[in-house]
Amino acid sequence: MKKLIVSVKSSSESLSDFKKALKAARKGKLRGEHFELSFDNKKDFDRFVKNIGVLSAILIHKPKSVYELAKLIDMDISNLNKLILFFETTGAIKIKTSMVSGRSVKTPIVEYGQIEFDLKAA
């Protein structure tokens, strides 16, 4: 099961963690399958936390499109599209694009079974 670890760190702390992970990978000593998402500002971190319910809805309902997700969670489609773009940019979700009846359909996918918060750096 993939794990997402979310934290608030300065860019220098993130770079230092990356260097440590790279050294461990070169030695073949990586621990588990996880992805770390470090925000360097509280505003983006708060936006992520405030909207974590959207990630849960994607995991639970597995919507076939962003439009279907908007209907499920009763959210305006334009606001949801902005939020989906934010989550995609951070790496919290992936978007699969396909053609259905001649229309391009974007399907949001959460690949993580677990999300943890590392707040010791906050």
Neighbours of 44 (CB within 10 A): 15
In tens, the pLDDT along 46-60 reads: 999 999 999 999 999
Range of the domain at 19: 3-118
**Domains contained in the chain, number:** 1
DSSP-derived secondary structure letter, 99: E
Question: What's the CA gap between 70 and 47, in Å, rounded?
Answer: 18
The backbone torsions φ and ψ at residue 8, rounded to the nearest 5 degrees and listed phi first, read -115, 115
| Residue with the two structure tokens 């934010």 | 86
Average pLDDT over residues 51-71: 95
* Model pLDDT, residue 122: 47
Which CATH number does the domain housing residue 60 bear?
1.10.10.10
What pLDDT score was predicted for residue 35? 82
- Given a cut of 80, whether residue 22 has pLDDT beyond it is no
On whether the CB atoms of residues 9 and 37 are closer than 8 A, the answer is no
Give pLDDT, residue 8.
86
